[in-house]
Structure 1
Amino acid sequence: MERYIWTLVVLLSLSLCGCDDNNEKMYSGDSTLYLNLSSTELDSVVCSFVETTENKIIVNIPVEITGYAAPVDRSFGLRVNEANTTAIAGKHYEALQDQYILEKNAYSMNVPVTILYSGDLDSLTMRLELELVPGGDFAAGIPSRQKVMLSISNQVPTVVYWSYIYASYFGKYSKVKHRYMLSELKLKKLEDSIEYYYSADRKLLEAYGLHMNNFFAEHQIYDEYGKLIEPWIE
């Protein structure tokens, strides 16, 4: 009986030591950073003001680690690669922080980047390339996932069939009106094809047109030429 009890004590001691070793392993080893981007975002992330009337857009950059979590907060950097950037700090985006904190026990976080509207985005597309900064608490990570290019603009595509599909319901075309239509009607885009001309829901377009007519009647909004957008339905 004494031999059995002694054996059990030894086994429990070894088990507890094994747990301590596993805990130490969990928080040991080099960790690296990478940007957890989708396959389409690896080329560029589109930041467009076309679908909003706000003057700011928050873009969350997903950062993840390889390796183990840590029992303490850790810091890393995200900087602008000036060589590949045409966007201007304070005009097209808010300056980044010097450091960002990955909280203890965390494997990932989103870094918020604030994109700003500027009038030149109506005709130009600005580039903002961001890259992770190795060193300190993290080693260099996967080379192909260290950078991300943000493509910033407010350009709306030309609506070739506006006069055939939309003019009867929304009046004269303007880029500003186009942008507000997308925002107010919660649309991703305006359909623009001969097929849509024949298949469009006319009653829905009529309802949309009345909504936008009332919207512009209640708000003083000027088009890209400085002309007031007036109601078109009497």
Structure 2
Amino acid sequence: MRKILYIILTATALLSVAACSEDTLEAYDTSTSALNIARGTVFGSAADYPESYSFNAYFLGGKVTDYTLQIPVRLQGVIDYDRDRHFGVMISEAESEGITDGSPVVSFDSKQVFRSGMYQDTLRATIHVDKMDSETTYKMRLKLIPGDDFTVGVPEYQYVDVQFTKNLTIAPAFWENNSKLSKITYSARKCAVFLEISGITDPEWVDDGSSVILDYWISLCKQWFEQHEEYDSNGNRIYFE
């Protein structure tokens, strides 16, 4: 069976024969295999390995009903080239808010695959945007569960926190950053339709000067509300103006 030792990048000394300084490569104990959720710059760039995950569902681009988080999981120990291995995942309810095991807002396989020949694979969890309400700020802690294939790794990398919401009560920065939008009376519903039509994913988006595209999006939003009768909480018809 062809196997090789994987070298893990660590922030602190991890059971090595000699103490090492921060951000060094260390050979880990090869008698066991463990997994760590790869988060933080010790694993690479902050863009690839964020410490935690946070998003507003309205900024996923267009009309998204399901959004799958892909969280990197790093091997600690020995690469197995001959067989897939498996790792367990659960929601830690004590550190979560608005989310419990079995919640319709999130789904994932409690037993996930770590593929053969890999030193890093992916934990996948799907957020069902259409099941979210527009008031709750959801907080979810996903934890690795040791099993037959993997023991417990570094304690601080056995979990990851995810915070998400679907709320536009407060106007995003881009609404105020663009003169043509800022002249339109803000409402969460107007903003939601605008985001669906424009596909904008950056809350800080600023018109780069090509006002033609912004004018086009605004015209489509006006048409949408003219063709769809919607009313605010006071019973007033909503128009994009």
In the superposition, the TM-score normalised over structure 1's length comes to 0.69
Selected match of 2:135 from 123, 146, 158? 123
Q: Shift of residue 151 of structure 1?
A: 0.5
Partner of 2:90: 79
Partner of 1:5: none
Count of residue pairs brought into register by the alignment: 203
Partner of 1:58: 68
- The 3-state SS of whatever aligns with 2:196 is helix
Relative to structure 1, the CA distance from residue 209 to residue 98 in structure 2 (aligned partners, 3 Å threshold; closer, same or farther) is closer
* Alpha carbons 2:87, 2:113 under 8 Å: kept: yes
Q: Shift of residue 147 of structure 1?
A: 0.7
Amino acid at match of 1:45: Y
- Which one has the bigger strand percentage? 2
Amino acid at match of 2:83: V
Structure 1 runs not aligned, ≥5 long: 1-19
Q: Shift of residue 134 of structure 1?
A: 1.8
Q: Which moved more, 1:99-108 or 1:72-81?
A: 99-108
Query: What is the alpha-carbon root mean square deviation over aligned residues?
Result: 3.5
Q: Distance in 2 between matches of 1:227 and 1:61?
A: 44
Q: Distance in 2 between matches of 1:177 and 1:108?
A: 42
| Identity in percent | 19
Amino acid at match of 2:218: G
Q: How does 1:69-148 map to 2 (within 5 A)?
A: 69-70=79-80, 71-88=82-99, 89-94=102-107, 96-117=108-129, 121-148=133-160
- The 3-state SS of whatever aligns with 1:188 is coil
* Alpha carbons 2:68, 2:126 under 8 Å: kept: yes
In the superposition, the TM-score normalised over structure 2's length comes to 0.67
* Alpha carbons 2:59, 2:203 under 8 Å: kept: no
Selected match of 1:166 from 175, 181, 187? 181
- Which one has the bigger helix percentage? 1
Relative to structure 1, the CA distance from residue 222 to residue 77 in structure 2 (aligned partners, 3 Å threshold; closer, same or farther) is farther
* Alpha carbons 1:47, 1:57 under 8 Å: kept: no
Relative to structure 1, the CA distance from residue 217 to residue 107 in structure 2 (aligned partners, 3 Å threshold; closer, same or farther) is farther
Q: Shift of residue 176 of structure 1?
A: 2.2
Q: Distance in 2 between matches of 1:221 and 1:33?
A: 52
Relative to structure 1, the CA distance from residue 66 to residue 221 in structure 2 (aligned partners, 3 Å threshold; closer, same or farther) is farther
Selected match of 1:187 from 175, 184, 200? 200
